[in-house]
Structure formats: structure tokens, C-alpha cells
Amino acid sequence: MKIPDIKEIAVAWIRAANPTEEQARIAQSRMAICDSCVHKEFRTLTRTYVCNACGCPLQKKVFTPKGASGCPKKYWTE
């Protein structure tokens, strides 16, 4: 199992809390891709959508600083 990148997670959560216009635009574009992805899964316990490929909550994952490579399936373009 891959060890989570704590710095990446922290930056994504901070960006999600107060994004710039550019970060919000990119996150919206990424979420549109995730919305049609087979790996998007609703978790009843937490009442949130997660990426089933990596386990991350999508509302935060889309703010990752890793860019297009932040998607474990390489579906994002930016």
C-alpha cells in the first residue's frame, strides 16, 4: 500500500477551503471528469463521494497540487 503524501493532502484541503479563481476553475474542470468516472463512489457512512481508485474524498482531491498527475487513472488534463 502506498503511503499518503501528507503535504499534498494538506495543500489540497487548504486550497479547497479558500481557492483562488484559477484553483476553483481547475477543480471544477476536474470534478466534471470525476462525475462521469466509474471510480466515483458514494460512501454512505461519511455521506461523501470518493475516488475508489485511491480512496480520497473528491471534494478535496480535485484541489491537489499535483496537477493532471493527481488523478490515479490519469484522466485529468490539468
Tens of pLDDT, residue by residue, the chain (78 residues): 567 789 999 999 999 999 999 999 999 999 999 999 999 999 999 999 999 999 999 999 999 999 999 999 999 998
Whole-structure pTM value: 0.90
Can you tell me which residue has the cell 503511503? 3
Measure the CA–CA gap between 1 and 11, rounded to whole angstroms: 22
Residues 6 or more apart whose CB falls under 8 angstroms from that of 15 comprise 23, 27, 63, 65
